[in-house]
Amino acid sequence: MAFEQPYRIVVAGGGTAGWMTAAALVRFLGPGFSIVLVESEAIGTVGVGEATIPQIRLFNAGLGIDENAFIAATQASFKLGIEFVGWTKGGRYMHAFGDVGRDNGGVAFQHSWLRGLAEGVAEPLAAYSLNNAAALSNRMQRGPARTAQMLPEMPYAFHFDAGLYARFLRNYAEARGVTRHEGKIVEVLRGGESGDVTALRLDGDRSIEGDLFIDCTGFRGLLIAETLGVEFEDWSHWLPCDRALAVPSARARDFTPYTRATAHSAGWQWRIPLQHRTGNGIVYSSAHLSDDEAASRLLANLDEPALAEPRALRFTAGKRKAFWQANVIAVGLASGFLEPLESTSIHLIQSAIERILKLLPGRRISDAQRAEYDRQTNLELDRIRDFLILHYWANDRDEPFWHARRETPLPEGLAHKIELWRACGQIVREDADLFSEVAWLQVLAGQGIAAEGYHPLADQPASGQIAEYLDLLAKLTAREVAQMPDHAAFIRQHCAAREDIAA
């Protein structure tokens, strides 16, 4: 693509979405492009978004960011999975990253495990997952397993301070040539027959012209929705939580390498330990819980004193009906929102950026490009939505909010997935599904949905052999975990932002 003038990409908004986008574009596009970002400190950012999934490591690595430096700069901790507490009566389980067990010949692990359960020789899934066992013991290691070749490496993600991450990326992007404009966008100018956006007018009578605009202005979607009129598809009948209160508390003594999501009568509460503080928040349905009740519940459940007043956030689950309209692509909260139960929003920013880079238009944008971008985004969002709905639907709690969740008809694909698991213990990963078979396995089993059958080949080993096989996997897992350093000690050694991380 040879242009006489540089191709001008304007990123509107400087939250996590805006700075991730600007950083990646400046890193991967050559000198024929100019990248400009506009943000308003007066408007500010949503200021939450502290838990990630392992794909974030690919994003940071792609930018050439040193992991230890990033962890120290963002007060981050490691995340090996999410513990779900109270989603079924009295139950707790973990959706841990990484493998669970080991396939036996061509037979997926869950079939051997289901047979083991039927014969009374299997332990809970947690015993066969390195991430799960390490998380519950507060331990962490990077790199290949040390004690047994057959064990996998532990994938991990991070909990970090979202504001510090945006600042870190801002430094990165500005150092590589992104131009930042501070100011409020007061008008979005459009031109010609196409109706394309031509410029953003800022307060102080400044104007930023561009060829392609990335809308990272948050929930309001200043370009995609307010200017171009793209509608919102509401998914709140499936995911009715519409409010959150977020509050930091003093650094936790229990410095866990996992997120905790604890269900309550009308939603759930998160707990995210960082190096300098713990992030907490309550997510709830305003039809079932008042703001005052939510605030007192949140504050009553902190494990250390609050460091600030709770901050209120309102949202609707759903997505834009188009993500790329005219010459505007919506990224981050401007493109839609699925609640933070599985920490997928920052990942969706990352995958949107990958798609933008792959389908990057020249000066003429084709309908086919836009359609392909939207097709891929829709596939990804639909699968994540289904995974989230599963947590809510498969509950046995007594409160009206949870009754209603059980009675809500499921999307077709999810209903089929559950039936297949119930009937024969099979889990099929579909195209564009962010979550692997073992992710679905942990949530299906963890939420108490029983499989009535398993693959017939799992019956081939003699009874004693299955017990031995499962026992060996559990023992190897426990032995590997036992030699791992403590999470806080690991951070202290490699990437501490401060000296006094609790041991």
Provide DSSP, 200-253: EEETTTEEEE-SEEEE--GGG-IIIIIIT---EEE-TTTS---EEEEEEEEPPS
Interface with ligand FAD, residue 18, by CB under 6 A: yes
Residues 144-163 that bind ligand FAD (CB under 6 A): 162
**Based on CB atoms, which residue is closest to ligand FAD, 37 or 122?**
37
**Based on CB atoms, which residue is closest to ligand FAD, 337 or 373?**
337
Total residues at the site for ligand FAD (CB under 6 A)? Answer: 37
Among 189, 313, 357, 467, which residue sits at the site for ligand FAD (rule: CB under 6 A)?
A: 313
Q: How far is the CB of 332 from ligand FAD (least distance, A)?
A: 2
Residues 165-184, mask of contacts with ligand FAD (x by CB under 6 A): -------------------x
Among 315, 373, 387, 469, which residue sits at the site for ligand FAD (rule: CB under 6 A)?
A: 315
Q: How far is CA 361 from the centre of its chain?
A: 28
Query: Collapsing DSSP states into helix, strand and coil, what is residue 405?
Result: helix
Angle between helices 367-393 and 437-446 (to 10 degrees): 30
User: What is the rounded distance in angstroms from the CA atom of residue 97 to the CA atom of residue 95?
Assistant: 7
**Based on CB atoms, which residue is closest to ligand FAD, 168 or 421?**
168
Tokens 């024929």 sit on residue? 32
User: What is the rounded distance in angstroms from the CA atom of residue 214 to the CA atom of residue 256?
Assistant: 36
User: What is the rounded distance in angstroms from the CA atom of residue 287 to the CA atom of residue 270?
Assistant: 20
From the list 33-41, 95-103, 298-306, 475-483, the region that binds ligand FAD by CB under 6 A is 33-41
User: What is the rounded distance in angstroms from the CA atom of residue 245 to the CA atom of residue 249?
Assistant: 13
Among 9, 50, 99, 130, which residue sits at the site for ligand FAD (rule: CB under 6 A)?
A: 50
Interface with ligand FAD, residue 46, by CB under 6 A: yes
- The dihedrals phi and psi of 462, each to the nearest 5 degrees, come to -65, 155
Q: How far is the CB of 471 from ligand FAD (least distance, A)?
A: 37
Give the Cα-Cα-Cα angle 381, 430, 219 (nearest 5 degrees): 5
Q: How far is the CB of 78 from ligand FAD (least distance, A)?
A: 15
Residues 325-344 that bind ligand FAD (CB under 6 A): 332-334, 340, 343
Interface with ligand FAD, residue 101, by CB under 6 A: no
Known catalytic membership, residue 79? yes
Among 7, 9, 11, 14, which residue sits at the site for ligand FAD (rule: CB under 6 A)?
A: 14
Among 345, 351, 377, 395, which residue sits at the site for ligand FAD (rule: CB under 6 A)?
A: 345
**Based on CB atoms, which residue is closest to ligand FAD, 48 or 474?**
48
Interface with ligand FAD, residue 51, by CB under 6 A: yes
Sheet of strand 7-12: strand arrangement: 179-182, 33-39, 7-12, 212-215, 328-330, 324-325
**Based on CB atoms, which residue is closest to ligand FAD, 46 or 388?**
46
Plot region of 155 (φ>0 → left; ψ -120 to 50 → alpha; else → beta) = beta
Helix, strand, coil % over all residues of the chain, rounded to 5? 40, 20, 40
Residues 200-219 that bind ligand FAD (CB under 6 A): 216-218
User: What is the rounded distance in angstroms from the CA atom of residue 61 to the CA atom of residue 67?
Assistant: 8
Plot region of 388 (φ>0 → left; ψ -120 to 50 → alpha; else → beta) = alpha
**Based on CB atoms, which residue is closest to ligand FAD, 325 or 343?**
343
From the list 37-45, 105-113, 234-242, 392-400, the region that binds ligand FAD by CB under 6 A is 37-45
Contact at 8 Å (CB) between 389 and 239? yes
Catalytic positions: 79
Binding site for ligand FAD (CB under 6 A): 13-18, 38-40, 43-46, 48-52, 162, 184-185, 216-218, 222, 244, 246, 281, 313, 315, 332-334, 340, 343, 345-346
